[in-house]
Structure 1
Amino acid sequence: MTEPVVEVRHLRKTYGDKVAVDDVSFAVSPGEIFGILGPNGAGKTTAVETLAGMRRADGGTTHVLGHDTQKHPTAVRDVLGVQLQEATLHDKITAGEAIRLFAGFYPAPADPDELLALLDLTDHADKQFRNLSGGQKQRLSIALALVGNPQVAILDELTTGLDPQARRNTWDLIDRVRDTGVTILLVTHFMDEAERLCDRLVVIDGGRIVAEGTPRGLIDGLEGDRTVVLRFADEVVGAAREVLDRLAATHPDVTRVEEMDGVPGEIAVTGTPRVLFAVVPALAEADLVPDDVRTVTRTLEDVFLAVTGRTYVEQDEEPALVTEGDRS
């Protein structure tokens, strides 16, 4: 069995009366993109900064490649790269200068030109930090996390504030980074990002792990209702609604029928996982053919709702990184 490259056991971190991380445990295998997902303020950043040796734990253990990062935080300096949330550089330093400067901190750094190419920054190497776009700044931040040739990289909220296209471009880059052999811990509050990128993940809420597994496994494991949305031509939508209402009153697999707000002609039918098998024969018998049929895809937001009993909303930000007595 492959030994984990990252192992966290019963991690606990408090700030006065506030418990930021409460009995968190997980292990990451080599080559994975492992997600730490949850709303802002859930304890994600505190957990990974403690893992990286930047904060002192109040309980539990944290290991990276066998090194105890609480007892020996400097031991992982050359094998662990960290891209911190909201990291910034001097306005006038160029992308190329920054990478070469950081490369000088490591005994066997990555080739700066290769990093610029990997992160699509070659054409922006001479551009000052203040003149880089949001996406370019994030790519530079990733490059600086990789400049020491780490075996493990922590990427914290790397697409916050980016437009949709820049986010998708960054996702593609993360896949490319993993393909170089780097194991990635991806910290994010974006459900779609975690679902798109992560091999496995933990969901953290209120400092505790509330779910863990593969994104697909967590979603497929949900029980409960399913919804089918059908669109009908204007001249038959009324008749279709009557048929579906009767179905809801008589069929055990159909529980609710409602018209979609602001979408003329669309009707949502909710029921058991077999709801579609009930709807299709009823419409066929009435000789009603919808113009479009789609099932409502379940997501990690549904997982969050199932395990917490509430919808996914952002919370207050976590405490700032520099806290008196935190640094080892």
Structure 2
Amino acid sequence: METNEHVIDVTDLRRVYGGGFEAVRGITFSVDRGEVFALLGTNGAGKTSTVELLEGLSVPSGGQVRVLGHDPYRERSVVRPRTGVMLQEGGFPSELTVAETVRMWAGCVSGARPQREALGLVGLADKESVRVKQLSGGERRRLDLALALIGRPEVLYLDEPTTGLDAEGRRDTWELVGSLRDTGTTVLLTTHYLEEAETLADRLAIMHKGEIAATGTPAEVTGAQPSRISFELPPGYFLGDLPPLGELGVSGHEVHGDVVRLRTMELQRAATGLLVWAERAGVELRRLDVRSASLEEAFLGIAGRAAGHGDEHEPTKTELAR
């Protein structure tokens, strides 16, 4: 094993398609051994193009990729046996049974896990005799994951791994990814479930229009976004009756009828000042909601600003990309 701290190293990476379309525009990031790194992005962000370059499916138009210290395209024979890939959709022969599919796949890798071990990891040990065409969508995703893990990969690429899974299956997959990380497997994850990224990722990057708009731990990325306080004004009171918002550390506000929504980078200060005022005034702040920014709010805020809409526009969830 290499002793490099960075198992994946990406430097000024670019990918240009025919006609001059630049899908990836000079991005740089790294992933350490035993780390889960989530790559998120808006529609057309370039993350699929990025992952394909990491997997060695194409040569970069510029910059450099190193996986396990090697060029994944030019040194594919060295890198590929040490990686596992779970695509968005598998293409398995529908007439084969689950056991036959695993045996076929195991014959393509060295040092394969035993069949029952691979299926047991994903909860399919009781489906060995079932034909692939008879599996549910969620069970097929589990089979996809089993085959990605069969070669005991050092680096694992997971592309939307829990699509089609129910809540229990999603949680089981999260636990499995966590256990793989704990044993030293490096995981690069793409997902449109932001809760999934927030739960699993040690670090993440948010791409937009071929560039990295934000990167860091989930806490660092969400911490760069304002927290929110909302409440209903007491009867007979107006916004001007509140303490000066600047003194509370409030950076912005909105009023919709009797409901006030405050934005602040100093949540404790703002909430404390507001509650002290309400106590002294002898009023109740109904429908009070105090919360830190979530990764979803951070994502939508970053996407909105990157699109040039500022604070006036929040993209919808449909803008979360593939």
TM-score class, shorter-chain normalisation, is 0.7 to 0.9
Q: Deviations over 1:170-197 (max 9, x none)?
A: 3233223323432100012332221111
Q: Structure 1: where are the runs of 5+ without partners?
A: 231-236, 261-265, 319-328
Change in 2 beyond 3 A, CA 1:244/1:87 = farther
Spell out, residue by residue over 1:62-120, the C-alpha distance to the aligned partner (whole angstroms, 9 max, x if none). Answer: 11111111221222121011111222312122222212211111221112211111111
| Deviation per residue, 1:205-233 (Å, 9 max, x gap) | 111111111010111133xx532234xxx
The SS at the match of 2:96 is coil
Task: Find the aligned partners of 2:117 and 2:290 in 1 and give their Cα distance.
Answer: 44
Match of residue 299 from structure 1: 294
CA distance in 1, matches of 2:42, 2:261: 30
Q: CA deviation at 1:41?
A: 2.2
Matches within 5 A, 1:176-325: 176-222=179-225, 225-230=226-231, 240-243=234-237, 245-248=239-242, 250-252=244-246, 253=248, 256=253, 258=255, 267-272=259-264, 273=266, 274-290=269-285, 293-304=288-299, 305-306=301-302, 308=306, 309-310=308-309, 311-313=314-316, 314=318
Whole-Å Cα distance in 2 between the matches of residues 221 and 144 of structure 1?
A: 38
User: Quick one: structure 1 residues 154 and 95, their matched pair in 2 at CA, closer, same or farther if it must change by over 3 Å?
Assistant: same
Asked if structure 2 preserves the Cα contact closer than 8 Å seen for 1:8 and 1:24, the reply is: yes
When the two chains are superposed, the root-mean-square deviation of aligned CA atoms in Å is 2.7
Aligned with 1:8 (options 10, 14, 21): 10
What is the alpha-carbon distance in structure 1 between the residues aligned to residue 159 and residue 134 of structure 2? 23
State the AA in 1 paired with 2:195.
D
SS of the residue corresponding to residue 6 of structure 2 reads coil
Deviations 1:3-61 (A, max 9, x none): 21111111111111211111122111110001111123211111111111111211122
SS in 2 for 1:283: helix
Unaligned runs of 5+ residues in structure 2 are none
Residue number in structure 2 paired with 1:322: none
| Higher mean C-alpha displacement, 5-14 vs 274-283 | 274-283
CA deviation string 1:153-182 (max 9, x = no partner): 000122234444543343233223323432
Contact 1:204–1:210 (Cα < 8 Å) also in 2: yes
Matched AA of 1:186 = L
Q: How many residues align structurally?
A: 304
Identity across aligned pairs (percent)? 35
The answer as to whether partners of 1:61 and 1:70 remain within 8 angstroms in 2 is no
